[in-house]
A and B are shown apart, each in its own frame.
Chain A
Amino acid sequence: MKLWRWLVAIVTLIFGRFLRRRPRAGGEADDRQRIVPAGTPERRAENVVLLLLGLAVLWALGFVVTYAEWSPSRLPNELLGICLGMSLACIGGALTVIAKRLVVTEELEDEYPQQHPEQQQEIVEIVHESGSRITRKRLMLGVGAAAGGALGLAALTPVLSLGPFWDTAPLDKTPWRRGVRLVDENDSPIAASSIEHASFYYAFAEGVDPEIIASDLIVLRLDPSKLELPAARAGWAPEGILAFSKICTHAGCAIDLYRNPKFPVLEPHPALVCPCHYSTFDPFTGGTVIYGPAGRPLPQLPLMIDDAGYLRAAGNFSARVGPSWWNVRERPTT
């Protein structure tokens, strides 16, 4: 019985408010001057807004259900995107209807802001007059600037801990010297007999982190009679097996394409190509640039074959490894 009374009270309250409000809203607005001009109600547009907002609720709940229902392996990413996207789009649509049909659209005028010459003048005066007791302004400013600058310098100094900066030796270091064995990706030594024609192989310095880019090599076998290496590199390619740095001398990408002749005029034989900007190097002549933007040849590593038939370095690279920089043309250091 008590519950029933409460319900009646609530219903009366709600309806009472509605009934009281309606005439009041109209009556009051008319006697005062409005700020926002009046417009006619559009119940159909209101219906569309309500419908769209209702759909947004459904789509959003759909997202929650989609998320909860399926296991990760079967969870359709597309459905999640559709639910969330559609819910958002419905709200967007509702807002569009509100903007176009329900909200009073007024065109108003306003002045563009102008300059304030008086205040500008006053600012200048305040600054000047405030400093009138100081006699050596220039000196004060100069010394003040020096203090600020020195403090700024001090504050920036710890940045030097980020890296070696002045000591650029790490850029030039290579793990290669005479006798270092070449290994493949599984750290196994590479037998000279396993290097075949018309293919290329990854190789690294034995016992060195392969992520050190000076360690990374590309190895290939060419016909020894066709090699045109510089005279100083005689004996660098036993059995026609050559090793080059894997790192392009242009921007540092890995040389990862071994191209058969594509443009016969320009490239009469296979070439090593960097896929980033198509710098192309001629392995026959010791890595000279024959195409693309690279500014210097690909460094070549002298090879030898040990008594067990495995490939070893016979010395260091012909040039420094990696993209060009100030000191890159110096001899490489081990």
Chain B
Amino acid sequence: MTDPILDPVRFIDERTAAAPLLRKSMRYLFPDHWSFLLGEVALYSFIVLIATGIYLALFFDPSTAKTVYHGPYAPLDGQTMSEAYKSVVNISLSYKAGLLMRQTHHWAADVFMASIVVHLMRVFFTGAYRRPRELTWLVGLTLLFTALLEGYLGYSLVDDLLSGMGLQIGYGVGLSLPLIGGPAMLGIFGAPFPGTAQFWSRMYIVHVLLIPLLLATLIGVHLALVAARHHTQFRESPRHTNRRLIGVPMFPAQIPRSLALMFFVVAILFLLGGLVQINPIWQWGPFEPWLATNGAQPDWYLGWLIGALRLMPSFDVTIGHFTVIPNPFWGGVLFPLVVVGVLAGFPWIERRLTGDRSVHNLADRPRDAPNRTAFGVAFLSWVFLIFAFGAADRIFVLIGLSYDTQLYLFRIGIWIVPIILFFVVRRVCRELARSDEIEVQRERAEHEARAHEQALARTGATPDS
């Protein structure tokens, strides 16, 4: 009797000639470090997003046509609203398991973004973006900002009061693009805000097809690039070198680990979706352009933009009758462009500054590169403080510090704090690196001393030989 596994393997190899590839990939090596799992969390969140998103698409109606709600949620009974909003209220409150899917979808989006950002920090602070992995870094950044747009479109589609306000701000920021803002927004929306009926079809196809396809492609390219160059590894032992990779094979060691992570991520997302309420849109009510509400906050990954918009002092740059740079441009366009630009250009900026052009398969510990770590922390704190100011109205409600006081504190703080942090962190890194060095020297000294003692003992045992 032949081995039962051999039959399918033979079948596949005969038809695809893939046995050598399969054999090789089974023993593809993964360096072992917990922080390498962050990207996988993003991948599995994406799978949940696709699965729950397909379910939601079976019920969602991307139409702004007016309708009257009659359903189990009494406070909205008899209200006029868009078909889009009504269908999401129905998904949430009328269909079995609809709310579970919707909340899980929303949670998965938040976790997807969060894990990408944390993954990015890991890659940054370990210098894993360096040659030969600059392309992987750029593809990852493109992924991040495409995902950001995808999330924004996702919650804008619902057409509740909060999402409508977000869309209105997006329209305002779009108009602020110098010179082309007006024509660009008229093109995208089809008419001045809230746009034509087709605008909803446009958002819908972009959210459920175009960007997901793009994301899936980018994820594929990102993973292919990672596989082509292998993961970086830490210098855990003298055996870990720039040329020699040490890790566990994909099969059998890595597969159950990674699958376990997948099941846990999916489990947590469904538990969150079931147990922790997120964006209860039936409470916000339908959107109308003349309505707004106080204390409105976007999903977390847009907080940095709302913070930047709020921090800007009031001025439009004008020449005669022309508004060259409307105010929202600074916070809504320039600020994210600067962040993207710095991140995207960083591998080359660092190369220029350090003159280090060599191939790096060994990841740095943050302390090993004090300047990079200090810059990273400073840059991050700059973005984070602007992000935090986006919640200034909530901070006021929480601790009573007036919005106005916070405004001036933050306007100064976002420049001072990063500078201070830069020097503090650089110092800490250098001290840590030095203490490591001392540790190594002490060990070497002890080792020599021991060797010397042993040599003495040996000579003592065999005198005059």
A binds B: yes
Residues of A with Cβ closer than 8 Å to B?
Answer: 36, 67, 72-73, 75, 77-82, 84-89, 91-93, 95-96, 98-99, 103-114, 159-160, 162-168, 170-171, 173, 202, 204, 210-214, 216, 246-248, 250-257, 262-263, 266, 274-279, 289, 291-296, 322-330
In the assembled complex, the Cα of A213 lies from the Cα of B191 at a distance in Å of: 11
**Interface: B29 (CB within 8 A):** yes
Cβ contact of B312, chosen from A75, A108, A256, A293, cutoff 8 A: A293
Contact residues in A for B252 (Cβ distance below 8 Å): 36, 103-104
| Nearest CB of chain A from residue B287's CB, rounded to whole Å | 10
Pairwise interchain contact B328-A81, C-beta atoms closer than 8 A: no
Pairwise interchain contact B326-A325, C-beta atoms closer than 8 A: yes
Given A165-B183, A328-B323, A329-B321, the answer on whether A252 and B245 have CB atoms closer than 8 Å is no
- Kindly specify which of B146-154, B291-299, B428-436 makes contact with the partner chain: B291-299
Cβ contact of B263, chosen from A88, A160, A214, A291, cutoff 8 A: A88
Contact residues in A for B95 (Cβ distance below 8 Å): 72
Majority SS at the chain A contact face: loop
Pairwise interchain contact A99-B257, C-beta atoms closer than 8 A: yes
Contact residues in A for B178 (Cβ distance below 8 Å): 326
| Nearest CB of chain A from residue B113's CB, rounded to whole Å | 21
Pairwise interchain contact A105-B230, C-beta atoms closer than 8 A: no
| Nearest CB of chain A from residue B414's CB, rounded to whole Å | 15
In the assembled complex, the Cα of A106 lies from the Cα of B315 at a distance in Å of: 63
**Closest residue of chain A to B193, judged by CB?**
A213
**Closest residue of chain A to B240, judged by CB?**
A109
Given A92-B263, A99-B256, A330-B321, the answer on whether A112 and B393 have CB atoms closer than 8 Å is no
Cβ contact of B289, chosen from A87, A213, A276, cutoff 8 A: A213
Pairwise interchain contact A256-B293, C-beta atoms closer than 8 A: yes
**Closest residue of chain A to B187, judged by CB?**
A163
**Interface: B53 (CB within 8 A):** no
**Closest residue of chain A to B272, judged by CB?**
A81
- Kindly specify which of B96-104, B203-211, B213-221 makes contact with the partner chain: B96-104
Given A88-B263, A112-B361, A159-B187, the answer on whether A295 and B316 have CB atoms closer than 8 Å is yes
Cβ contact of B314, chosen from A165, A255, A292, A322, cutoff 8 A: A292
Pairwise interchain contact A91-B263, C-beta atoms closer than 8 A: yes
Contact residues in A for B311 (Cβ distance below 8 Å): 293
Pairwise interchain contact B192-A213, C-beta atoms closer than 8 A: yes
Of residues 46 to 99 in B, which have CB atoms within 8 Å of A's CB atoms?
Answer: 72, 93-97, 99
Pairwise interchain contact B191-A322, C-beta atoms closer than 8 A: no
| Nearest CB of chain B from residue A64's CB, rounded to whole Å | 11
Nearest 10 interchain pairs by C-beta:
A81-B274, A251-B172, A295-B316, A92-B263, A324-B326, A85-B271, A95-B260, A323-B172, A88-B267, A252-B172
Summed over the interface, the residue pairs from A and B with CB atoms below 8 Å come to a total of 299
**Interface: B109 (CB within 8 A):** no
Contact residues in A for B168 (Cβ distance below 8 Å): 251-254, 276
In the assembled complex, the Cα of A109 lies from the Cα of B249 at a distance in Å of: 9
Pairwise interchain contact A250-B172, C-beta atoms closer than 8 A: yes
Cβ contact of A95, chosen from B263, B326, B403, cutoff 8 A: B263
Pairwise interchain contact B243-A111, C-beta atoms closer than 8 A: yes
Pairwise interchain contact A324-B327, C-beta atoms closer than 8 A: yes
**Closest residue of chain B to A70, judged by CB?**
B96
Cβ contact of B186, chosen from A82, A165, A212, cutoff 8 A: A165
Cβ contact of A110, chosen from B29, B97, B403, cutoff 8 A: B29
| Nearest CB of chain A from residue B99's CB, rounded to whole Å | 5
Given A72-B72, A213-B289, A277-B309, the answer on whether A168 and B267 have CB atoms closer than 8 Å is no
Contacts A/B (CB < 8 Å), 25 sampled: A72-B93, A77-B99, A77-B100, A78-B274, A81-B271, A81-B275, A88-B266, A92-B267, A96-B260, A104-B253, A107-B32, A112-B244, A166-B183, A170-B191, A171-B182, A216-B290, A251-B309, A254-B168, A256-B293, A276-B309, A293-B331, A324-B176, A324-B328, A326-B179, A326-B322
Pairwise interchain contact A275-B292, C-beta atoms closer than 8 A: yes
Pairwise interchain contact B404-A98, C-beta atoms closer than 8 A: no
Cβ contact of B260, chosen from A92, A173, A255, A262, cutoff 8 A: A92
**Interface: B173 (CB within 8 A):** yes
| Nearest CB of chain A from residue B225's CB, rounded to whole Å | 12
In the assembled complex, the Cα of A217 lies from the Cα of B274 at a distance in Å of: 42
**Interface: B387 (CB within 8 A):** no
Pairwise interchain contact B263-A293, C-beta atoms closer than 8 A: no
Cβ contact of B192, chosen from A99, A160, A170, A276, cutoff 8 A: A170
Q: A80-B97, A164-B191, A252-B172 are in contact. List 10 more A-B contacts (CB 8 A).
A: A72-B96, A85-B274, A109-B29, A170-B192, A251-B328, A254-B289, A256-B291, A275-B296, A293-B312, A295-B316
